[in-house]
Structure 1
Amino acid sequence: MKTQPLRKEKNCLNCGTEVPERYCTHCGQENTVQHETFGHLVGHFVADIFHYDSQFLTTLKALLVKPGFLTREYMAGRRVRYVNPIKLYVFVSFVFFFGVLALNSSHKEENGEDEMAEETLLNTGIGKDTIRLAAGTAGLKKAFENDSSATGRRIEELATSMNNVKSAREFDSLQQALPDSQRLNGVARKLMRRMVEVQHKYGKDTQAVIVEMFQHNLPKLMFILLPLFALFMKWMYDRKKWLYADHAIFAIHLHTFAFIIGLLASILTAIFHKGIFLTICYWSIVIYLVLALRNNYHQSLVKSLFKSIFLLGIYLLSAGIVFLGFLVLIFGIFL
């Protein structure tokens, strides 16, 4: 690429320092004529892109095929050749959430909003009945429609009777009209009343509303879960040898890998409509975690396996608690 001609003046236009050759020794700006041609602008743009891609591709290759390697490199001080972990996480998580939302929007048009809402939350590992409970009285009825027990039939009957109630005031009036033995009490009464109020305010499809809010807030929830994951790791490893920041870098790289694999699995699932890709994604993350722990913390494969099982178990439990807290917050906002 033809270089831009140098200025005759030897003062840096950016900081005023004397420039003996092409680049300023103080700020690094090139001392060239400022009226650049369009070709030069395009050339600089392409050069910058390829420079970033070179660093990005090196980082991406190491992240995908060498579990734990990037974390070791970072802690060893070899950082210039790789993208900063936090920048990498922010960029990859943005692409992941944007891509998943785009795929979900496309899938929603094909399969309908209700089915898509339930499938979206099922992919997060949340139980089907829990999802249906969040959908209001219609979802509550569906959750217990196949339950032949006395309790199941009673809940289904209540959900059916409450499904046509239009407001919380109407719900209270109907409850007052019932005999004492048939009235709802305690938590059951409060829960059903909230479901009625939510449906009255947001329409029948409250599940779609919750899913939409869940999707938009999922990046924030991940920022809660990621430091928790690092904290769990701190409990399991020598605190004198490893700092919390070391575990945090490991957690960032692990989550970044999970986002990349998750996006790839989502794209393949959308194309081929096969759930096997998500299954492969989950197992890939488990295997990656075991290998990354072994390679980064230099412990045996057996120890790394058991620690991986513990980490995943407590992480999923924490994710469930965070999600339930999210639902409580959503219902609180609705009210």
Structure 2
Amino acid sequence: MKKHYRSDKNCLNCGTTVADKFCPNCGQENLELHENFFHLVLHSVGHYFHFESKFFNSIVPLLTKPGYLTKEYFAGRRASHLNPFSMYISISILFFFLFTANSNSNKEDIMEESTAKEENTVTKAEEAKTIVSNALPEKTGSNTYNLINNSRAATGNQNDTIIFTNPIAAEADTTDRFTIAGYDVPVRSLNAKYRDVMDDELSKQLFVNKLTSHLPKMMFILLPLFALILKMVNFRSKKLYAEHLVYSIHVHSFLFLFGSILIVLKWLLPFLSGWIMFAGFVVGIWYIYRSMRNTYRGSRWLTVYKFFTLAFAYTFLMLLSGFVVVVATLYTI
């Protein structure tokens, strides 16, 4: 996009003389104020999403050169690339937007399949009624339906199937108890709470939506923990924690961006969904290994050892934090 620069050499922001395109004092670009609507929109969008050289100088190496951006950052060549934190936030927003849209799409497919099964069940129940009425005498059949209708009225069960339950199990206490200040306080067990949420369609959808909204926060918290694990795994390295953190940001940015591409490919090629996910898993493992090798300059087998140590520790943290988020979400809806 061609920019229009002012012929005057005074900075409109601080008044300093501008020798070139940017103010040497405050850094403001000496752009012409009177631009048409088209240039104004393009400039605003390009500035916000970095649709300039920085964008392509960062995104292309991020996808094709594992560890390159981290080395460039600490070599001092930073002006040519996107800021790691800004890039991570932008890419994570894109990923979780697509992830949510994909989850909603899968939910619609499941609901359609569930509706088809319910319709099939109703059809079979009607067929069963016809068979019973044809096989039994008229009086017996009438008494049978009266018995079913009476049981429905008594139990409130409108299904066509009679379910026998164990009365002892049905009356079992589903609460745990603990003592506070001498009082016995009943608390619903986690399993019972989960069943209640899953049995109600509205509560289930609310639970899924809130859980999905918590995932970006969880990943943002795990980001510095990933860097801390890297610091511990590479304890003999002279790299500072900040260097491990920047590497961690670049790795997660790649995973989110690559995950976004996989989601789009699944939408375009649904018949290859399984192969796409398998290929994505293999590429993700290779990328992390290669980036560790390029960044920390270790031998092949030492890098493999560090990779599996990192994977084990990080997976444990993800499962633990995921469990905490699930429990917290269950008790806040």
TM-score normalised to structure 2 length: 0.68
* Identity, % of aligned positions: 35
State the structure with bigger RCO (CA 8 A, min sep 6), 1 or 2: 2
In the TM superposition, what is the alpha-carbon distance from 1:239 to its structure 2 partner?
5.4
In the TM superposition, what is the alpha-carbon distance from 1:235 to its structure 2 partner?
0.8
2:235 is aligned to 238
1:290 is aligned to 289
Amino acid at match of 1:241: K
Q: Is residue 221–residue 322 contact of structure 1 (8 Å, CA) maintained in 2?
A: yes
CA deviations over 1:56-91 (Å, ceiling 9, x no partner):
111112111111111111122211111111111011
CA distance in 2, matches of 1:30, 1:283: 44
Q: Is residue 6–residue 32 contact of structure 2 (8 Å, CA) maintained in 1?
A: yes
CA deviations over 1:73-120 (Å, ceiling 9, x no partner):
1122211111111111011111111122223333433342898xxxxx
CA deviations over 1:26-47 (Å, ceiling 9, x no partner):
4455667744455764685698
CA distance in 1, matches of 2:45, 2:224: 37
Amino acid at match of 2:53: S
* Mapping for residues 61-72 of structure 1, pairs under 5 Å: 61-72=60-71
Aligned pair 1:88/2:87, yes or no? Answer: yes
Q: Is residue 225–residue 319 contact of structure 1 (8 Å, CA) maintained in 2?
A: yes
Larger Rg: 2
Which of the residues 257, 260, 284 maps onto 1:260?
A: 257
How many residue pairs match? The answer is 273
CA distance in 1, matches of 2:189, 2:250: 43
Aligned pair 1:6/2:7, yes or no? Answer: yes
* Mapping for residues 294-333 of structure 1, pairs under 5 Å: 294-333=293-332
CA deviations over 1:214-243 (Å, ceiling 9, x no partner):
111110010121111111111111356011
In the TM superposition, what is the alpha-carbon distance from 1:289 to its structure 2 partner?
1.0
Root-mean-square deviation (Å):
3.8
5+ residue gaps, structure 2, are: 115-154, 157-165, 178-187
Q: Is residue 3–residue 31 contact of structure 2 (8 Å, CA) maintained in 1?
A: no
Secondary structure of the corresponding residue to residue 331 of structure 2: helix
5+ residue gaps, structure 1, are: 116-163, 166-174
In the TM superposition, what is the alpha-carbon distance from 1:304 to its structure 2 partner?
0.8
In the TM superposition, what is the alpha-carbon distance from 1:255 to its structure 2 partner?
0.6
Q: Is residue 85–residue 249 contact of structure 1 (8 Å, CA) maintained in 2?
A: yes
Amino acid at match of 1:53: E
Change (3 A) 1:22 1:280: closer
Change (3 A) 1:275 1:15: same
Q: Is residue 21–residue 29 contact of structure 2 (8 Å, CA) maintained in 1?
A: yes
TM-score normalised to structure 1 length: 0.68
2:172 is aligned to 183
